[in-house]
Amino acid sequence: MAFAFAQFLTGLASASWLFLVAAGLTIVFGVTRVVNFAHGSLYMLGAYIAYSLTGMLSLGGFWLAVPIAAVTVGLLGVVLEMTVLRRLYGAPELFQLLATFGVVLIVKDVALTLFGPVDLFGPRAPGLTGAVRIFGEPIPEYDLFMIGAGITVLAIIWLLFNRTRFGILVRAATEDAGMVAALGVDSGRIFTLSFFIGSTLAGLAGALQVPREPVTLLMDLNVIAEAFVVVVIGGMGSVFGAFIAAILIGQLKAFGILVLPESTLVVAFLAMTVVLALRPNGLFGRAASGPPPAAEIAPPENLGRFGRPAAIALLISLALLPLVAEPFILVLCVDIMTLALFAAGLRLMTGPGGMISFGHAAFFGLGAYAAAATAKAGLGMVAGLAAAPLAAGLGAIVIGWLCVRSSGVYLAMLTLAAAQILWSAAVQWNWLTGGDDGVLGIWPDRWATGPVAYYYLTLAVSGAGMWLLIRLAEAPFGYMLRAGRDAPARARALGIDQRRLKWLAFTAAGIAAGLAGGLAAFAKGNVFPDVLSIPKSVDGLLAILLGGLHAPAGPVIGAAIYAALENILSRLDHWRALLGLSIVGLAVFAPGGVGGWISKRLRHRSRP
Amino acid sequence: MLFQRFAATVGVVLAISGPHPATAAEPIKIGEINSYTRLPAFTEPYRKGWQLALDEINAKGGVLGRKIEMIRRDDDGKPDTAVKIADELVRRDKVVMLAGTFFSHIGLAVSSFAKQNKVLFLASEPLADSLIWDKGNRYTFRLRPSTYMQAAMLAKQAAKTGAKKWATVAPNYSYGKEAVAAFQDVLKKLQPDVEFVDAQWPALFKIDAGATVRALEAAKPDAIYNVTFGSDLATFVREGNLRGLFEKRVMVSLLTGEPEYLEPLKTEAPTGWIVTGYPWYAIKSPAHDKFLKAYQARWNETPKMGSMVGYNTMLSIAAVLAKAKSTKTEKLVDAMRGLTLETPMGKISYRAADHQATMGAWVGWTAVENGQGFMTRWHYVDGADVLPSEADAAKLRPAN
Amino acid sequence: MTAILEARQLRKVFGVTPAVDDVDFSIDAGTRTALIGPNGAGKSTLFELLGGGLSADSGHIAFNGADITAWPPMRRAQAGIARTFQIAAVFRSMTALENVQTALLATVPGGGGLRAASSAFKGEAEALLDTVGIAAAMESAVTDLAYGDVKRLELAMALAGNPRLLLLDEPTAGMAAAERRRIMERATGIAVARGIALLFTEHDMDTVFGFADRVMVMHEGKIVADGAPGDVRADPLVRRIYLGADADA
């Protein structure tokens, strides 16, 4: 009993911390409707700044460093809002997500430059270095302080939102930004202010974590996935919901570790999936009002009269490439082709389908692991390459069924959750996946061994896959899919079964990703949990963003440019920051991508 | 992945400019892969170690009349990146051999690559036993004492404590798993009545220390065997201290005596833990003195375990080149088998039977003085003394 | 004449206010019925109940003899109910022709495999565009079309499924008088030629009395008058609650 109570308090302390992070994220979302990936980076900066200040301030030390760090991060958040996010309020969620992910990369590089790569382990909080005995069990004083801090912040937010003019305006803006503007209130100011509050909370959470864990460059993505879970379970925009969700997750982890020590990472995402399956808008969330901001007008999509000759020319030159290229160029091309196939499927669901997936790596990874398992079972490469799309397709049917019931950000978060569940399972369930060790020694059959043979195999398989996907987009299926995206009510009134079409598109995208994963597995000879990670999903999204979301040739162009971009940037010292800047720039200034730009030019010229 | 592919693309430009025929004056290229940004605490001193040795060797004219050039690459702590880089180093940079890696799963991944592509790989740091035993191959050799060797050293001391109920905490990947398995194996042989009552497997660098400490406490063991390191260790020690986990318990801990992990703990460094490590401050031998002076003069800081590993890696590379009198892979592999060289730690040799070097480790107890953790009552254990015989070890390896 | 659509005791309440309050009516095949009433009378809600965008709290809707009360919009469309929206809803990423082609493709079970949609039903689509009078603009992106032409396009799309009943929600909203007349002539002409029952809401009284053969008047969720245009125009109740506000009509 005493033990369970102590465990409960441990869970409550980590819940408090989770709540502090998630509260800021949910406030920002509630007001601005922006899903801010960079929230984790702000949290990380809070920790770094508090650590550095603690060392510098002789007077006050840690306790003075915490508020200074929090406010500093709050101001940095304001800068972020005014320079980047303000330009993205009307943009589709995909661009917001990618742009804030670009900010993540920039901040990581800045932090690396300013604070160095070494983990920084801060001192314990002055005055709270010991433990008190509660029912005989030692409870760290700092844990009790954290519990108090969480409740205090909840109370302050409640007072702020219910007892001040600003808070009431924020709540009104959450309900209807247009109405607030009609009242003559500058909604831009409200957005900026709520960003300040959200960022300050992120900084506070980071600063308060310094006595508990080392400050590292991995804090940003480690925390953001979990914060998303809390926000989504609670209902996006609901601070109280985040509080309840944080307690739920904190306790699940505290007691889960006793029962299933190898499932600590999975638990949070499983809980989120269960909650969303029962309540698609989270515990305290409301349905997103109005249609998703598909306010952008998707351009027409077809290859145009230049498309077919260009595709044939590309195929011929790729077929002849091995005659002139060095092996490592062929290896690079294999990478580009698998990425292009992965992105092509993703484009079908994101472009014509209008569904944003932030976890498409789930299917790439399923394919890769299925190929690996088949090969390890001694069934050979061909069976492996067949198993890959099969497993990914089955996964996509199941996950897709759950996801297509939602739309917009909720759908993106559900896909993210699905990928994170699979990733956590891959990391922690060694018996199945080899964990971090991965699966090694998955090599092609003898006839396909060697850069040239495998290059031709990849060209044939991914070429066929991409041809099918382009056909699908140009077939009645693609037209009706776009119909559902452009005008859902119109499509329904024509008798189009959108949910089924979306589900099919989701599955097709999953199959393509799985096939790409299988090809990649045999190309590299190994599979690691990273194939399921957030950056892998971002790879695919970036390729289609670069190539153009609404250009059928986009994935190929995007994958190739992505490789070129890497080539140029990666040789520079601050390639992360430069890549991040490129992503932000693209999302803000060139949302049509290169493919979109080309097809626009061609269309103008082909017009009479 | 972007973060992994970038290296490959660098090759395009070089390829277009055409391959350069190697001439006698050209340096011998060695490909070196390590987790420089993921675990700088170890890999930075490691880099300084091999850099020091490299400069010494090249100052004397290099080997085989050619200078040695190290092409250093960062794997970002990701095994697929490491394999990617290995591929580039071999195909594009035309290195004669690969060296380095820190994490065991990365070492295993590169080893698998080395086997497939028939290129020599000297794994300097990864400790997993499988690297040279059940997943061993002709092309992979290892410098550092393995998890089995270090666990055996620790188990010998652990058995003397008489503790019966043990719990373990280790990162959830090959190194952690094999370190626990080896320790259990050896301890049970020495003391058949021990009982392992709990095993915690936090994900690498993602430990939920509070909950882990509580779970260990719940099992009420007499003793705990710890394999966590780096930031996981720091959080674990802090939470454990806070919650009294280490009070009246025997603590046995792998690598914790190494300065890179012990120093950051400052005043919180544990006392009385049985550890493996590197008490550079107390070792008295002419060879070590020379290394210590040179290192401090060059870098103006004290050496870490990584420094020693990096230094010995470079010495091994030079030695094998000199012995093989060639840069051809098969000749190098033959030369590696049974290669013997002098290091600041004494003479070491790479066993022909299982490709494991006989480099040893220091075993001792942790203590704290002037706000700084250090090792006391230590002794050096030669690797050869804790390894199974070459005949037995050969049986642990796959047939090829 | 047989009733193609029957609404019985149809009711929909928002909060505490009934937007549609126990409405009963039926529509005969091939007729042209106008549904009029002041803003907030419940016309749009009733339209959504018929189209399936909203589900009724109580009551029944029968179409062609089948009880469709619980059917989703998709199924109603497949059964032969077509509609247009108050704010024309078309597929903005497509040309006018592609819009109609898509509408035609939606009538094919299974969609039609992998063959290119751009060549499917081209003749039929062109004919439909011709019917509504915008054949000249068929290659234009719909974003380039004038609003009146978008309305015509939507009409062509609605006709694609060969409906038995066509619901037009303010088909002439936002148009000049001459344009109104032209589009209503088209719509009613097609309806008569194809034997489609027409039910439309409309604010412009010239349009209502010029093109309907029956007028239903809604007020506060109820149908308060129903009959031939001349009778309804003469109904004193209608004059007081509705036409009075629109004296110029």
A366: closest CA of chain C, how far (Å): 27
Mean pLDDT of chain A: 85
**Could you tell me what percent of chain A has a pLDDT over 90?**
37
Instruction: Find out if CATH 3.40.50.2300 is the number for domain B148-282+361-386.
Output: yes
**Which chain A residues have a beta carbon less than 8 Å from that of C50?**
none
**Which chain C residues have a beta carbon less than 8 Å from that of A300?**
93-95, 98, 141
- CB of A127 within 8 Å of a chain B CB? The answer is no
- Average pLDDT on A63-84 reads 93
Does the pLDDT of residue B100 top 90, yes or no? yes
CA A490 to chain centre: 31
pLDDT in tens, A447-458: 988 889 999 999
A543: closest CA of chain B, how far (Å): 10
The whole-angstrom separation of Cα A23 and Cα A198 is 7
Per-residue b/e over C151-172, b at no fewer than 16 CB within 10 Å? bbbbbbbbbbbebbbbbbbbbb
Kindly state whether residue A359 falls inside one of the protein's structural domains.
Answer: yes
**Which chain A residues have a beta carbon less than 8 Å from that of B214?**
6-7, 10, 254, 257
Is A25 within 8 Å of A269 (Cβ atoms)? Answer: no
- Average pLDDT on A22-32 reads 89
List subunits contacting chain B, requiring 3 or more Cβ pairs under 8 Å: A
Residues in chain C: 249
**Which of A190, A217, A244 is the endpoint of a domain?**
A217
Kindly state whether residue A576 falls inside one of the protein's structural domains.
Answer: no
pLDDT in tens, A178-210: 666 666 667 778 888 889 999 999 999 999 999
Beta carbons of B109 and A331 less than 8 Å apart: no
Is A351 within 8 Å of A298 (Cβ atoms)? Answer: yes
Looking at the fold, whether A349 and A460 belong to one and the same domain comes out as yes
Beta carbons of B6 and A567 less than 8 Å apart: yes
DSSP H/E element including C152? helix C147-159
Token pair 């990472």 in the structure block, residue: A265
Beta carbons of A213 and B91 less than 8 Å apart: no
| Backbone CA torsion sign across A406, A412, A418, A421 | negative
- Residue to mutate among B91, B242, B263, with most A CBs inside 10 A, is B242
Q: DSSP assignment, residue B272? A: S
**Which of A217, A246, A269 is the endpoint of a domain?**
A217
* Contacts of B108 by beta carbon, 8 Å cutoff, 6+ apart: A437, A440, B79, B126, B128, B130, B131, B135, B174
Higher pLDDT, A16 or A430: A16
Smallest Cα–Cα separation from C27: which of C163, C214, C182, C235? C214
- Average pLDDT on A86-98 reads 81
Which of A10, A131, A436 has its CB closest to that of B211? A10
Looking at the fold, whether A339 and A464 belong to one and the same domain comes out as yes
Kindly state whether residue A253 falls inside one of the protein's structural domains.
Answer: no
Number of domains in chain A: 2
B312: closest CA of chain A, how far (Å): 24
Higher pLDDT, B357 or A591: B357
Beta carbons of B9 and A124 less than 8 Å apart: no
pLDDT in tens, C163-207: 999 999 888 887 888 888 888 888 888 888 888 999 998 888 888
Which of C102, C105, C118 has its CB closest to that of A302? C118
Which of A468, A485, A490 has its CB closest to that of C89? A490
Looking at the fold, whether A470 and A370 belong to one and the same domain comes out as yes
Beta carbons of A118 and B202 less than 8 Å apart: no
**Which of A489, A518, A533 is the endpoint of a domain?**
A533
List subunits contacting chain A, requiring 3 or more Cβ pairs under 8 Å: B, C
Domains and CATH numbers, chain C: 1-80+163-249 (3.40.50.300), 89-162 (no CATH)
**Which chain B residues have a beta carbon less than 8 Å from that of A261?**
199-201, 215
Name, of A530-544, B75-89, B372-386, C210-224, the range with top average pLDDT: B372-386
**Which chain B residues have a beta carbon less than 8 Å from that of A143?**
210
Does the pLDDT of residue B19 top 60, yes or no? no
pLDDT at B14: 39
Beta carbons of A326 and B84 less than 8 Å apart: no
Beta carbons of B234 and A119 less than 8 Å apart: yes
Beta strands in A22-148 (DSSP E): 131-134, 137-140
**Could you tell me what percent of chain A has a pLDDT over 70?**
90
Token pair 């739920």 in the structure block, residue: A248
C118: closest CA of chain A, how far (Å): 7
pLDDT at B400: 59
- Angle at CA of residue B81, ends B80 and B84, nearest 5°: 90
For A55, A182, B126, B148, the CA distances from B356, given in Å and listed in that order, are 44, 76, 12, 11
Beta carbons of C106 and A302 less than 8 Å apart: no
List subunits contacting chain C, requiring 3 or more Cβ pairs under 8 Å: A
Looking at the fold, whether A57 and A157 belong to one and the same domain comes out as yes
Q: Which residues pair with A120 in a beta bridge?
A: A215
Question: DSSP string of B111-139?
Answer: HHHHHHHT--EEE-S---GGGTTTT--TT
pLDDT at A287: 62
- Average pLDDT on B77-106 reads 91
**Which chain A residues have a beta carbon less than 8 Å from that of B208?**
14, 253, 257, 264
Higher pLDDT, C1 or A83: A83
pLDDT at A301: 60
pLDDT in tens, B302-361: 999 999 999 999 999 999 999 999 999 999 999 999 999 999 999 999 999 999 999 999
Is B242 within 8 Å of B24 (Cβ atoms)? Answer: no
Kindly state whether residue A375 falls inside one of the protein's structural domains.
Answer: yes
pLDDT in tens, A482-523: 999 888 889 998 989 889 999 999 999 999 999 999 999 999
Beta carbons of C158 and A472 less than 8 Å apart: no
A606: closest CA of chain B, how far (Å): 35
Does the pLDDT of residue A20 top 90, yes or no? yes
Does the pLDDT of residue A101 top 60, yes or no? yes
Does the pLDDT of residue C237 top 50, yes or no? yes
Beta carbons of A496 and C74 less than 8 Å apart: yes
pLDDT in tens, A269-284: 888 888 877 887 788 8
Cβ neighbourhood burial of A30 (10 Å; 0-12, 13-18, 19+)? buried
pLDDT at A294: 41
Beta carbons of A535 and B1 less than 8 Å apart: yes
Mean pLDDT of chain B: 90
Beta carbons of B91 and A14 less than 8 Å apart: no
Beta carbons of A476 and C108 less than 8 Å apart: yes
Does the pLDDT of residue A70 top 90, yes or no? yes
CB pairs under 8 A between A and B: 196
CA A45 to chain centre: 20
- CB of A136 within 8 Å of a chain B CB? The answer is no
Residues of A with a Cβ under 8 Å from any C Cβ are 297-302, 468, 471-472, 474-480, 482-483, 485-487, 489-497, 550
Does the pLDDT of residue B231 top 70, yes or no? yes
pLDDT at B21: 46
Kindly state whether residue A539 falls inside one of the protein's structural domains.
Answer: no
Q: Which residue of A has its CA nearest to B6?
A: A566
A348: closest CA of chain C, how far (Å): 14
Which of A298, A480, A482 has its CB closest to that of C106? A480
The whole-angstrom separation of Cα B342 and Cα B359 is 10
**Which chain A residues have a beta carbon less than 8 Å from that of C116?**
471, 474-475
| Backbone CA torsion sign across A211, A214, A220, A224 | negative
Instruction: Provide the token pair at C240.
Output: 């007081």
Does the pLDDT of residue A602 top 50, yes or no? yes
Beta carbons of A138 and B243 less than 8 Å apart: yes
Topology given in CATH for the domain delimited by B2-146+285-359: Rossmann fold (3.40.50)
Q: Which residue of C has its CA nearest to A302?
A: C118
Q: Which residue of A has its CA nearest to C74?
A: A495
**Which chain A residues have a beta carbon less than 8 Å from that of C89?**
487, 489-490, 493
Is A425 within 8 Å of A432 (Cβ atoms)? Answer: yes
Question: DSSP string of A565-591?
Answer: HHHHHHTSTTHHHHHHHHHHHHHHH-T
Beta carbons of A525 and B215 less than 8 Å apart: no
List the domain range (segments joined by +) for residue A126. 2-217
- Residue to mutate among A480, A494, A504, with most C CBs inside 10 A, is A494
B2-146+285-359 shares its CATH topology with B148-282+361-386: yes
What ipTM describes this predicted complex?
0.89
Which backbone phi and psi does A120 adopt, to 5 degrees? -110, 120
Which of C92, C117, C161 has its CB closest to that of A475? C117
pLDDT in tens, A313-337: 888 999 999 988 888 888 889 999 9
Q: Name residues 237-256 of chain A within 8 A of B (Cβ).
A: 253-254
- Average pLDDT on B276-297 reads 95
Q: Does chain B reach chain C with at least 3 CB pairs under 8 Å? A: no
Which backbone phi and psi does B203 adopt, to 5 degrees? -65, 145
CB pairs under 8 A between A and C: 110
**Which chain C residues have a beta carbon less than 8 Å from that of A502?**
none
Instruction: Provide the token pair at B146.
Output: 């393995």
Which backbone phi and psi does B46 adopt, to 5 degrees? -60, -45
- Residue to mutate among C44, C47, C74, C167, with most A CBs inside 10 A, is C74
- Average pLDDT on B90-101 reads 93
Least confident of A117-131, C89-103, C138-152: A117-131
Delimit the domains of chain B by residue range: 2-146+285-359, 148-282+361-386
The whole-angstrom separation of Cα C210 and Cα C203 is 13
Kindly state whether residue A159 falls inside one of the protein's structural domains.
Answer: yes
Neighbours of B220 (CB within 10 A): 11
Q: Which residues pair with C84 in a beta bridge?
A: C168
